[in-house]
A and B are shown apart, each in its own frame.
Chain A
Amino acid sequence: MIPAAFEYYRPTSMEGVLALLQEHGDEARVLAGGHSLIPMMKLRMADVPHLIDLQGIAGLSGITIDGGTIRIGTMTTQHDIIGDAALTAAAPIMAEAALQIADPQVRYMGTVGGNVANGDPGNDMPGLMQCLDAHFHLIGPEGERTVAARDFYDSAYMTAREDDEVLTAITFAVPVGGHAYEKQKRKIGDYATAAAAVQISKEGGKVAAASIAMTNLSDTPVWSEAAGAALVGTDCGADAIKAAVAAMLADIDPTEDNRGPVAFKRHVAGIVLGRAIARAWSRA
């Protein structure tokens, strides 16, 4: 499998990256871990005449927790997420999700930034970021701007990021309450048939707040405000979970593929979400 030829760049500053992106327009792509882009290039489904490798730029990876805000640099790998004890203490849902992504070798290379910026509906981090109400930090020729994860995804591979912008970091508030990332996949390394990210906080035995997003059940991640709202004020019993699942099923729009027909995916979505809510509640 030989990809089309390309010009390779390894700039050492973000200014250098932005200059290359401006010069080459949509003929250029940035490369992080490469585990989505390189397979597509090998299949010649992606043609990237100018490939800009971000590995030479200092300061793009790392996790900081400061004043209730978690910041994860774009080049931070899934392996880094899993190994970061402070992050796991503050937001255990991150490692729980990262451990269900691909396999060990892919997790050493695959980055958080690549996972969220690629816009692949099968990627796990976009739904998780929507659940956590994360913000994505972009830099471009006009300077820096921030886009909410819940506003970032337009359709498959189409996002709010402009061609000449680079995602530099994600930030989110330290989550409160119980968490769960539940994923159904056919085998290790596969994308989700359905996956759910859930955060629930408890007050006086009732659900105080709930945030629920699902993965690979539409051409974007699906954060369902109604599903979360269906739990608030309840004891998170069987009826409440049923109502939340019904609300989510009204918001997803799966398509048939080799993971199954639509009816099967909707069935799996309900099971996965029910389990995720129950687990998050048990930890709240």
Chain B
Amino acid sequence: MSNKMHVKLNVNGTDHEFLAEPRELLIYALREKLNITGPHVGCETSHCGACTVTLNGKSVKSCTMFVAQANGAEITTIEGLGSPDALHVLQENFKEHHGLQCGFCTPGMITRAAKLLEENPNPTEEEVRFGIAGNICRCTGYQNIVKSILSAASELNSAKEAAQ
């Protein structure tokens, strides 16, 4: 019953192969097997969104997926969006607009926001709030998070216009 299986994941462009029990949650495989600790374990009950990753183009809570289900998937975590030397535009704007206090929810928040802006590059404030409703922040009251995301959207859009 506790037979391990071969799991293949592509995380942030790098292929990984490891053995895991099918019941292992994706978040633990990422954090403990692959040492990718950007996605956080918050509530572990599908509510808080701190563990959000992008999996095959969907924002998913990696605490609510068995590693077996993710086998073969392409995953992007906060580590795949930017680095300390080359911040993602969302990271820049969270920094600029103080879109965090303790920072615990931030990796999930930014990973979700990146997908949101990919699907809706020009969201209203209401659409941003609705789009991040699966991510809970206990510090900020969301105001600066929303400001950061809206500002990142307009920066991305100006960059796109300039390129045209």
Contact = CB atoms under 8 A, between A and B. Distances in A.
Interface of A: 1-8, 10, 31, 34-35, 38-39, 41-42, 49, 51, 53, 55, 79, 102-106, 108-109, 188-189
Contact of A106 (B3, B61, B71): B61
A31 B69 contact: yes
A104 B133 contact: yes
A189 B61 CA distance: 13
Contact of B1 (A7, A39, A42, A102): A7
B65 interface: yes
A188 B2 contact: no
Q: Which of A4, A42, A104 has the most CB of B within 10 A?
A: A104
B1 A6 contact: yes
A58 B65 CA distance: 20
Interface in B91-131: 112, 116, 130-131
In the complex, the 5 A-B pairs of residues with the closest C-beta atoms, listed nearest first: A103-B134, A8-B22, A108-B58, A8-B68, A105-B134
Interface stretch (B45-53, B145-153, B154-162): B45-53
A4 B1 CA distance: 10
Nearest to B69: A53
24 contacts: A1-B25, A5-B21, A6-B22, A34-B66, A34-B69, A35-B46, A38-B66, A39-B46, A39-B64, A51-B22, A53-B69, A103-B49, A103-B134, A104-B59, A104-B116, A104-B133, A104-B134, A105-B60, A105-B61, A105-B134, A106-B46, A109-B64, A109-B65, A189-B133
A105 B48 CA distance: 10
B37 to A, nearest CB: 19
A34 B1 contact: no
Given A1-B44, A38-B66, A103-B133, A6 B59 contact: no
Contacts of A79: 58
A7 B23 CA distance: 9
Given A8-B22, A104-B131, 9 more contacts: A6-B1, A7-B1, A31-B69, A34-B66, A35-B46, A38-B65, A39-B46, A41-B23, A105-B61
A107 to B, nearest CB: 9
Contacts of A31: 69
Contacts of B68: 8, 10, 51, 53
A1 B132 CA distance: 25
B19 interface: no
Interface string B6-29: 000000000000000111010000
A5 B23 CA distance: 6
B139 interface: no
Q: Which of A10, A38, A53 has the most CB of B within 10 A?
A: A38
B22 A109 contact: no
A17 to B, nearest CB: 15
Contact of A2 (B23, B52, B61, B64): B23
A5 B2 contact: yes
A124 to B, nearest CB: 16
Nearest to A55: B69
A36 to B, nearest CB: 10
B87 interface: no
B5 interface: yes
A142 B60 CA distance: 36
A7 B2 CA distance: 8
A129 to B, nearest CB: 24
B1 A105 contact: no
Given A79-B58, A109-B60, A189 B65 contact: no
A189 B64 contact: no
